[in-house]
Chains A and B, each alone.
Chain A
Amino acid sequence: MESREDDLRSSYLRILDEYLTAQTERSLYNASLLSKAFVEQGIGPEEIVALHSEAIEKAGKGLSALERARSVSASFQFLLEVMITYGVRYKEYLDLKLSDATRAIEMQLEIDRIRAEESIRTQEQVLRSKEEFLSFVAHELRNPLTVVMGSIDYMLRGVGAGDPERQRKLLERTRESTEQLLRLINDLLSISQMDFTGQTLNVQLVELDDLVHSAILEADAAAREKGIELAMHPPHRTEKVFGDRNWLLIMLGNLLSNAIKYTPEGGQVRIETANLGRRVKIDVIDTGMGVAPELLPHIFEKFYRVKGGPTPFVQGTGLGLPLVKRIAERHGGDVSVKSTQGEGSVFTVLLPLAE
């Protein structure tokens, strides 16, 4: 920067010298160009005047009084020209700075506006998904309620209600429907607890062996009812994980009951575990109907089944797998699925190993 300023100074002296010698228009034009450079370089008018006085003093040395007076007068003409141009340039310069500043402010306002809009959009999205969730809950309540109310209505009407066959069927349906309502309420409660990060987990050291065996024990009755063989492989493990035993049991229980639900009678459901070093892998493997490929990417979404997924009617709440995912995530793990239609599915849970 220093040298640029020095350059400008020496240019000024050179042009002034030219002017004093020949007093051409070209020198004045060059002086006005130089003014622009002074403005841009931040050299102020007082500096120019000082530079000018110094130059005149130097140039006047050795001249007669008359010559000196002529030289000073000519140099004032030059200085005036420089100062006028300087003023014009300085105004332009200020305008430019001002419009830059205005632009910066406008841009900031635009950014603020976009940010505000984005935040509103996010809030609307949250609201919409909450509303959608509630509407699905309402929908899921309506079907079992219809069966309960309809069955009671039918028996009260008395026309065909004397038929013990029908009575039994309606009572069974009513029973199933109330169980479905109970499941829905339990799952809703669980998933809202898991979604709510304020819900603390009762974390302790959990033995994998004990966890898996307990889950299998709980699912045993449902499996036996369908003649499904439940197994763990390898039969014993020594690894431990940190976690809330109850929630982990709910997670495995959901995966097992799902596997049993979608596996035909006489099929197989087994849990395979593996130590991956820092994590433990729990595979729940079934020989069921498998998951349609178009459904796979959505299988962990709440109420996807209800949203019109191409699944046939199966008793379920549409919240089981989303709950499994939330529990796994809350434990620093994850769940994924692989499936071949007609052959079966593998749900894989990864949990961090306790040292």
Chain B
Amino acid sequence: MSSIEGKTVLIADDHPGIADLVVMVLEDEGVTVETASDGYEALEKARSLHPDLMFLDIMMPGIDGWEVASQLLADDETADIPIVFLTARARTEEQLRGWEMPIFDYLTKPFVLEELLEKACSILSADRPEMHELREQTRKQKLRRLLGLDRQQ
């Protein structure tokens, strides 16, 4: 756990209660957490802080999370910021849309706090070479689950 101390995480969510929770649980681990409450602020802070991880809500005022993510990923300066969607949009087609981007995870609300913390730890403690592997593993696992769920329905 010590390797994540001093890292910076940005949480972009217009719901203050949710941002507060993420701040508390990560600060307990020695992580610096910054917050953004709309899409513009999210873009601006991602560029100026270049966080080691970004939790991104989708439905936000201003510009939405989809747009924030695609702008950050399209820019060489910010493309390497690991993005994890943290959203109430839980429908399968929405999750699949998220996975079309090179994101690190797509977490749906309500989430289990412990899982969010584990997710943050695994990304923040990964070396640069491990990042890619980590992302691909999660993607495969999540996609399999999503498509498998579809078959059951």
A residues in contact (CB < 8 Å) with B = 135, 138-140, 142-151, 153-154, 157, 159-160, 166, 169-170, 173, 176-177, 306, 308-313
CB distance from B92 to the nearest CB of A (A): 12
> Do residues A313 and B110 form an inter-chain contact, with CB atoms below 8 A?
no
Docked CA distance A310–B27 (Å): 31
Q: Count residues on chain B whose CB falls below 8 Å from chain A CBs.
A: 28
Does B105 have its Cβ within 8 Å of any Cβ on chain A? no
CB distance from B142 to the nearest CB of A (A): 18
> Do residues A147 and B17 form an inter-chain contact, with CB atoms below 8 A?
yes
Does B89 have its Cβ within 8 Å of any Cβ on chain A? yes
- Say which residue of B14, B17, B28, B89 sits within 8 Å of A139 (CB atoms): B89
Does B62 have its Cβ within 8 Å of any Cβ on chain A? yes
- Say which residue of A135, A139, A143 sits within 8 Å of B18 (CB atoms): A143
Contact partners of A146 in chain B: CB under 8 A: 15, 17-18, 21, 88, 109-111
> Do residues B27 and A139 form an inter-chain contact, with CB atoms below 8 A?
no
CB distance from B118 to the nearest CB of A (A): 12
Contact partners of B16 in chain A: CB under 8 A: 313
Tell me the residues in window 35-52 of chain B with beta carbons closer than 8 Å to chain A beta carbons: 37-38
Docked CA distance A144–B110 (Å): 8
Contact partners of B21 in chain A: CB under 8 A: 146-147, 150-151, 154, 170, 173
Given A135-B91, A154-B25, A159-B28, is A173 in contact with B17 using a C-beta cutoff of 8 Å? yes
Contact partners of B28 in chain A: CB under 8 A: 159-160
- Say which residue of B14, B18, B91 sits within 8 Å of A150 (CB atoms): B18
Name which residue of chain B comes closest to A306, CB basis.
B59
Name which residue of chain B comes closest to A135, CB basis.
B91
Majority secondary structure, A binding face: helix
Name which residue of chain B comes closest to A139, CB basis.
B88
Contact partners of A313 in chain B: CB under 8 A: 14-16, 37, 61
Does B20 have its Cβ within 8 Å of any Cβ on chain A? yes
CB distance from A181 to the nearest CB of B (A): 12
Contact partners of B114 in chain A: CB under 8 A: 153, 157
Additional pairs, 10, CB under 8 Å, beyond known A139-B89, A142-B108, A154-B21: A139-B88, A142-B109, A146-B21, A146-B88, A147-B15, A157-B25, A166-B24, A176-B17, A306-B59, A312-B61
> Do residues B88 and A154 form an inter-chain contact, with CB atoms below 8 A?
no
Docked CA distance A162–B135 (Å): 35
- Say which residue of B17, B59, B90, B113 sits within 8 Å of A157 (CB atoms): B113
> Do residues B38 and A160 form an inter-chain contact, with CB atoms below 8 A?
no
> Do residues A312 and B88 form an inter-chain contact, with CB atoms below 8 A?
no
Docked CA distance A1–B113 (Å): 93
Docked CA distance A169–B14 (Å): 17
- Say which residue of A140, A153, A309 sits within 8 Å of B112 (CB atoms): A153
Contact partners of A138 in chain B: CB under 8 A: 88, 90
Contact partners of A148 in chain B: CB under 8 A: 110
Max chain B CB contacts within 10 Å: which of A138, A157, A170, A313? A313
> Do residues A142 and B88 form an inter-chain contact, with CB atoms below 8 A?
yes
Docked CA distance A145–B25 (Å): 17
CB distance from B16 to the nearest CB of A (A): 7
- Say which residue of A144, A160, A173, A312 sits within 8 Å of B37 (CB atoms): A312
> Do residues B88 and A143 form an inter-chain contact, with CB atoms below 8 A?
yes
Does B80 have its Cβ within 8 Å of any Cβ on chain A? no
Does B34 have its Cβ within 8 Å of any Cβ on chain A? no
Contact partners of B89 in chain A: CB under 8 A: 139
CB<8 Å pairs between A and B, sample of 18:
A135-B91, A139-B88, A142-B88, A143-B17, A143-B88, A146-B18, A146-B88, A148-B110, A150-B18, A150-B21, A150-B110, A150-B113, A157-B114, A160-B24, A166-B24, A170-B21, A309-B61, A313-B15
Docked CA distance A143–B17 (Å): 9
CB distance from B69 to the nearest CB of A (A): 15
Given A147-B18, A150-B18, A159-B28, is A310 in contact with B62 using a C-beta cutoff of 8 Å? yes
Docked CA distance A311–B62 (Å): 8
CB distance from B3 to the nearest CB of A (A): 18
Docked CA distance A177–B17 (Å): 8
Contact partners of A309 in chain B: CB under 8 A: 61
Docked CA distance A150–B112 (Å): 7
> Do residues A310 and B15 form an inter-chain contact, with CB atoms below 8 A?
no
> Do residues A142 and B110 form an inter-chain contact, with CB atoms below 8 A?
yes
Name which residue of chain A comes closest to B15, CB basis.
A143
> Do residues B91 and A169 form an inter-chain contact, with CB atoms below 8 A?
no
- Say which residue of A159, A173, A311 sits within 8 Å of B61 (CB atoms): A311
Does B64 have its Cβ within 8 Å of any Cβ on chain A? yes
> Do residues B61 and A310 form an inter-chain contact, with CB atoms below 8 A?
yes
